[in-house]
Amino acid sequence: MGWFVIERLRDLRVWGIECVTAHQLEIEFADAVQGYDWVIFVDAAVDTQPGQVTVRELAPNVGLHAVSHFLTPEDVLGMCLAMHGKAPKGILISIGGADFDFGEGLTEVTQQAGEKVALALRNWLQHGKGRKSLIG
């Protein structure tokens, strides 16, 4: 899902941001996010209605596991805080997926939600990140 939103941001000519896609979060991201003011994670959600968008602010998880095969965005921010003494603000945007089978492309409802997220992110990035509501 994140890859689709990134492509749309590029199509919308949103510049001055760095975009990274990954199948899953890795420990190396904790170092990579250092120095940024904001980190926005975009992912598909299995526990949300198809096409439904949820946004939540993240707090660094300071109760880290020594080794993990699964990292959350909060874990990444927490490791950044532990390694560098500070962490960027974080937001998780979840988009309810409709079909998680192997295949190419997105369902129509998920694609429409991704479009909505890309437009909202463009507006949020261009018109001030101090607003409470990112989507809606």
Domains plus CATH for the chain?
2-126 (3.40.50.1450)
pLDDT tens for 51-96 read 889 999 999 998 755 556 678 999 999 999 999 999 999 999 999 8
pLDDT on residue 69: 65
Range ranked top by mean pLDDT from 15-19, 64-68, 102-106: 15-19
pLDDT reading at 129 higher than 70: no
66 or 106, which is more confident?
106
Rounded to the nearest 10 degrees, how much is the dihedral formed by the CA atoms of 131, 63, 93, 15? 70
pLDDT on residue 58: 95
- Average pLDDT in the chain: 85
pLDDT on residue 67: 58
pTM: 0.85
pLDDT on residue 99: 67
pLDDT on residue 103: 62
pLDDT on residue 96: 86
Comparing C-alpha atoms, which of 30, 28, 24 is closest to residue 70? 24
**83 vs 106: CA distance, rounded Å:** 37
Give the pLDDT band of residue 135 (cuts 50, 70, 90): very low
